Structure 1
Amino acid sequence: MAAELSGSTALVTGGTSGIGRATAIALAGLGAHVVLSGRDATRGEQVVERIRAAGGKAGFVAADLKDAASARSLAARARELGGHVDVLVNNAGIFPTGPSADTTEAGFDRVYTTNVKVPFFLVAELAPEMARRGHGAIVNVSTLVAARGMAGMALYGSSKAAVELMTKAWAAEFGPSGVRVNAVSPGPTRTEGTAAFGDGLDELAAAGPAGRVAAPEEIAAAIAFLVGSGSSFVQGVVLPVDGGRLAV
């Protein structure tokens, strides 16, 4: 029996570590040819080798996603490696914290470019092609602070709130052509990127019903669900994967 995503190509941005790496491995395990992008070629090739060692198919594209042109270039490279892109996971992002008064204009622009502009133009480039083929799945990675006001999170949270609105708008735009667009909203998750938060991560997680920090693989499992046929009637949702943190 063929794996569920056999014959498809999945592009995972920020696929060299954390949630992105776990997602790339999960989708490859479902049979997808995974193209993962990131800035660190060494880590990227390590993920590719891990997937290939397990019998999967993968390729890495070194990409500094800093504008619309870099997004379009990544889409083109993914097509070269995979022939076409059936699944897009917009995972790459940055998450600075701190007082609004300390935010520089350059810092503001960097967050919105990485978290909003690049996903927008990747979808603008790839979703119409999916629509012409009559199928496709897009998953955007958000955060619980997009829906919960927290001090020091205005910049990051607002950028991801934009991603959640775009998710719903894209579902309306591309859903009638067979392209499903959804998002996941992770809670505190143990990754290389969140290590800097130290005990703060555990304190945030302790306030939720699960009472613990998530592993990247738990977020990746939710992304794989939204990509797969088991979610065929799921469109335009933001799925909390936060240990119940938004519930309390």
Structure 2
Amino acid sequence: MTEGLSGTTALVTGGTSGIGRATAVALAGLGAHVVLSGRDATRGEEVVSRIRASGGKADFVAADLTDAASARSVAARAREAGGHVDVLVNNAGIFPTGPTADIPEAEFDRVYATNVKVPFYLVAELGPEMAARGRGAIVNVSTMVATRGMAGMALYGSSKAAIELLTKAWAAEFGPSGVRVNAVSPGPTRTEGTAVFGDGLDELAAAGPAGRVAAPEEIAAAIAFLVTAESSFVQGAILPVDGGRLAV
């Protein structure tokens, strides 16, 4: 039985769809007051309504996370909703693909702003507060292509490789104060965002031992494990949740 999160507040970025939505629902089910952020207010309120209908606590914060200022704003609004933030799930991200030579500078900047700068400044804002209280958990959502070279994935993969290094650096920085920092590295997962890959997603998944695409709830379950006391001795880890793709 997983130990609950009663009395805690969890901020889940990109919580209106896919892995983020599944994570928000999972953490609320464990008793956390979930504050979820996203760009789509309609989808955000749908997630909040679903959680509240099940007896959970949730609030939605509309935000387009693109820079340090937007990260600080979301952190402040999460504090207002929950009093303080005990759990941070850095899930929001964008994943354009394409040949290196075809990536315009504006796209490069947008990917690194969303995938690296925003998590960096959310941790800068919330990590010290967790450390001051002597407890907290941070989970960053990475990808299997952060460590596996794939054509067309240079920009996205490199941004997530940065997140994996930051995970380890933050574990070293905040761990001695009682804040655990880890990451999950999902394999092919069926979400609204990955629908654009069509059959290619199934083909990629078929190469792994599991032989199938993951559901968002399977990734969310790993995130939930990493923010509960059951993973109390897990620190600075990159947990592959990829159907064994790492093994082949």
Aligned residue for 1:37? 37
Alignment-derived partner of residue 212 in structure 2: 212
- Stretches of structure 1 that go unaligned for 5 or more consecutive residues are none
Q: Given the two structures, how large is their TM-score scaled by the length of structure 2?
A: 0.99
Q: Which amino acid aligns with 2:179?
A: V
1:126 maps to 2:126: yes
Superposition TM-score, scaled by structure 1 size: 0.99
Which amino acid in structure 1 is aligned with residue 42 of structure 2? T
Which residue of the partner structure matches residue 247 of structure 1?
247
| Whole-angstrom distance in 2 between the partners of 1:238 and 1:181 | 10
Tell me the secondary structure at the aligned position of residue 205 of structure 1. helix
Tell me the SS of whatever aligns to 1:49.
Answer: helix
1:197 equivalent in structure 2: 197
User: Partner of 1:22 in structure 2?
Assistant: 22
SS in 2 for 1:194: helix
After superposition, the C-alpha distances for 1:9-57 in whole angstroms (9 at most, x for unaligned) are 0000000000000000000000000000000000000000000000000
Structure 1 Cα separation of the partners of residues 229 and 130 of structure 2:
16
Query: Aligned AA for 1:27?
Result: L
**1:134-158 alpha-carbon deviations (Å, 9 max, x no partner):** 0000000000000100000000000
- Residue type at the aligned position of 1:233: F
Q: What is the distance in 2 between the residues matched to 1:207 and 1:66?
A: 34
**What root-mean-square deviation, in Å, do the aligned CA atoms of Structure 1 and Structure 2 show?**
0.9
Counterpart in the other structure of 1:51: 51
Q: Deviations over 1:191-227 (max 9, x none)?
A: 0000000000000000000000000000000000000
Structure 1 vs Structure 2: percent identity of aligned residues? 88
**Could you say which residue in structure 2 is the equivalent of 1:114?**
114
What is the total number of aligned residue pairs between the two structures? Answer: 247
**Deviation sequence 1:75-99 (CA, Å, 0-9, x none):** 0000000000000000000000000
What's the secondary structure of 1:61's corresponding residue? strand
Structure 2 residue aligned with 1:151: 151
Gaps of 5+ in 2: none
**Structure 1 outlier segments of 4+, above 2 Å:** none
Alignment partners' CA distance in 1, 2:147 and 2:241? 13
Looking at structure 2, the residues matched to 93 and 174 of structure 1 have their Cα atoms a distance apart, in angstroms, of: 23
